[in-house]
Chains A and B, each alone.
Chain A
């Protein structure tokens, strides 16, 4: 669990043989230098830094939650929390044809994956995988959306993380985690939404052990407006 500040040279025992250089590490000639503050992680030939930040920088392949801001020609302009707007072509929706376009209004939210990011122009998103199937992507109706830091989002959908599973034991709900720090969720009633939102936001600085269990416990028992 060693932290690297920008400018540090990364020389961990496992770093010499790994061939995939991940997030936050630049290679300058022979030395590998950290370009962002983060904790070193390595796993079967991959090494990267787990960086804490709140501002999303678009990466290809990330699945993000985007807010529709306007419709221009055959593109929807989306806000994904980055410097430039993002665009999605109406054909990149499942089952969309020339006449049967998805009718998205301003303020709707969609779950899409980043498809192409050239630094200067807008990022391109798509709601279908390469066989034109949605696979869970597309418009998200109803529910509630809120913002959390990027590293907390990654932690929520990490295989070993038990936060969502623990909440799942108490509540009946559905959740979509975007890599750009936005979380959309839907539950039976407004009470549940408020309780789950509170638990997720508070679990950011709670370590994985029993603290988490009683956080979720009293989140469940606490009535919203007693």
Chain B
């Protein structure tokens, strides 16, 4: 199946100690994410003008110091949060890849955004991740592990919302040979899935806020 977004499930504010926490799963790929709000920062890492953002993606096995997903998540978050709003503070975003059944990068980005929404910290725009792979020059969105392993090229879009509300590429991570047309086509697939994910954000937050309906 080409343009098919797997079933998404999410549960928010289920961890006791994290300010904002979310467990998000797309199909069988499951991620736990937490975002601890503007807190105090150690003098060595303090930045006078802006908030210090401490992002880390943790895998199941092996050491997690330098994981390739860290850069795309860090750059997306730095763009999504207006860091100058809280000078001399720090925020810690942790994403644990609990179970990996394909497109773990996209699920990590969605989990991070849910954690940020649950935290309630002011930030600029909602963002999400979509992975598009090319399998025998056929484009597949949100692939499973098998499809991803057999693919000849992968591109991970991190999408945030432009001023007009439509999806807009925030950062991109392409692996494998891609020419411009195919990237264009991949982007055409990524847009509807981004819209679907943004609607899912809205539904979950709506449900969460429905408790204090007057």
Contact = CB atoms under 8 A, between A and B. Distances in A.
In the complex they form, whether A and B have CB atoms below 8 Å apart is answered with yes
Interface of A: 1, 3, 5-9, 24, 35-39, 50-55, 57, 82-84, 119-120, 149-151, 155, 160, 204-208
A52 B213 contact: no
Contact of A55 (B13, B37, B48): B37
Contact of B120 (A51, A160, A205): A51
- Give the size category of B's interface with A: 35 or more
Contacts of A53: 19-20, 37, 119-121
B149 interface: no
A35 B213 contact: no
B212 A151 contact: yes
Contacts of A120: 48, 87-88
27 contacts: A1-B210, A1-B213, A3-B202, A3-B209, A6-B123, A7-B126, A24-B122, A52-B13, A52-B209, A53-B121, A54-B120, A55-B36, A55-B39, A55-B121, A57-B38, A57-B86, A83-B39, A83-B88, A84-B40, A84-B88, A119-B86, A119-B88, A120-B87, A120-B88, A204-B211, A206-B211, A208-B212
A5 B212 contact: no
Contacts of B126: 5-7
Nearest to B213: A1
B161 interface: yes
Given A39-B209, A83-B38, A83-B86, A5 B20 contact: no
Nearest to A36: B122
Nearest to A41: B214
A50 to B, nearest CB: 7
Nearest to A83: B89
B202 to A, nearest CB: 6
Given A52-B208, A83-B89, A119-B86, A7 B213 contact: no
B37 A54 contact: yes
A1 B214 CA distance: 9
